[in-house]
Structure 1
């Protein structure tokens, strides 16, 4: 759309003047402008001409929005936004102010970007966090897991209504039943209402920690992020090869900080007692029951167990 400013710059040209007058007449017949004048009778022809540029922009933006080609191809001057008019009555006359408002597509894009900024993943495929979610599809995918899904839905709703509690969830079940997917869904839903979250794939995290022992600053930043986020998920805990330093000084430190403060979540193929046995054994020192029990004392009292039944969904289309 040619800007009205370009037209007004050449008003001395008779052809341009006639075209401007034609545009003015079109605006006077535009349904948007007529509706505006019906609501504000003070908007007479004089006010129209004084605010011609604003009204021209207003009508043009709305015409583009009616024929929206998508956000990436938005023809409006300010992509993803349209002109809105604020009318104020001052001493029997009206003042017209123009402002830019985001369209629903721009709002959706901004919200999605804010959600992505609130969620961090370590060693977890970001596709699982960004693919989008549909409640009905989650329920219908496998009826066997419906009780677990309902429990997660209730948890999300409770947080939305009452805020965070220090109590998280321990999601246990067989391979491929959707544990990671459901935890990503929980992160996504709560990020939408402002909570920050981190999800960590434990086998890769533990392997990386072993090579990170000499990188003190990087390790500190990572563990501080896990301590301070609103929601922390340890994904596939029990599948990692632990050493005493990781168990006692890294995991122990993170969990010791979060207990009674912020909720921590877990997915595992192990039930809680199986996880305790796993945490009691390291490749270096063998079995140390008391150390496994000490770590479990920072896990078990602060979670509700969610048993996930269902078929292995991996490889299905």
Structure 2
């Protein structure tokens, strides 16, 4: 079957691409051959189950459409049946590093909200508002600074978020601040000096820095490691997410009280303000509350 521009625009996937990329009818007209091929060959796997349920011509692979450099392109991606049998596919493909098991019992934030609503309407509304804030931030290339008491679910929320980016093909680093500073110290002061961990966090497409403020602050950790990473990511507008038990004002106070420094109290405050200022430029700050889920 041959589709014209009007018919092509009725497809939900193409509608989404048009909205996200502000695609004109003229561009669609120029790429009608590619779009017709896609619409005639596309078969969506919808049923649950493993590869034995797959009806694709190439088992386990489903046709996908994407838009890049003002052109439409089609490619093959894993279908739901392949992912059912290979649940860690996207982690294996796109995860740069993690010191945390990113497997979550929830497939989406909506699923998490639904589960939480059965226990606490207040908490489920809080998570929904955080999710809304996250979406608003993404439209401006901003991450989240998610703070709250121990055990309220900050890391779980970020696990689901990280897996979402992995599924989109983003290169993700998910690391606890304590691991970052410990590994960076070992690498930079070992016999064979290295900046592997520091650079990994600096350049990742998406960085999740878990439990910032948990580490014992020193001048070196704050200025040579954390500021180095955060300032680079701020300057290059790289998507960054932070979780913490401290809000940003308390984090500033903690980073102002570094006892190994030869700087004056005023200079310490300036150093702390520099790092918090960069974090504010990278994120929207939001609180997660509730009782410990542990």
Q: Is the 8 A contact 2:256 2:272 kept in 1?
A: yes
Q: Is the 8 A contact 1:156 1:190 kept in 2?
A: no
Is 1:117 equivalent to 2:75 in the alignment? no
Of the candidates 150, 153, 169, which is equivalent to residue 131 of structure 2? 153
Deviations 1:184-230 (A, max 9, x none): 11111122222222111112332333333224877422222212222
For the aligned residue pairs, the C-alpha RMSD in angstroms reads 3.1
Q: Is the 8 A contact 1:143 1:310 kept in 2?
A: no
**d(CA) in 2 for partners of 1:113, 1:158:** 28
TM-score, normalising length: structure 2: 0.64
Of the candidates 153, 172, 182, which is equivalent to residue 178 of structure 1? 153
Q: 1:284 to 1:132 in 2, by over 3 A?
A: same
Q: 1:218 to 1:82 in 2, by over 3 A?
A: farther
**d(CA) in 1 for partners of 2:144, 2:253:** 19
1:101 equivalent in structure 2: 59
Q: Is the 8 A contact 2:104 2:159 kept in 1?
A: no
TM-score, normalising length: structure 1: 0.60
3-state DSSP of counterpart to 2:278:
coil
Q: Is the 8 A contact 2:188 2:195 kept in 1?
A: no
Is 1:306 equivalent to 2:286 in the alignment? yes
C-alpha deviation, 1:140, in angstroms: 3.0
Query: Where does structure 2 lack aligned partners over 5 or more consecutive residues?
Result: 1-47, 61-78
**d(CA) in 2 for partners of 1:83, 1:301:** 45
Is 1:229 equivalent to 2:209 in the alignment? no
C-alpha deviation, 1:69, in angstroms: 9.8
Q: 1:146 to 1:70 in 2, by over 3 A?
A: closer
1:295 equivalent in structure 2: 275
Query: Where does structure 1 lack aligned partners over 5 or more consecutive residues?
Result: 1-67, 75-79, 85-99
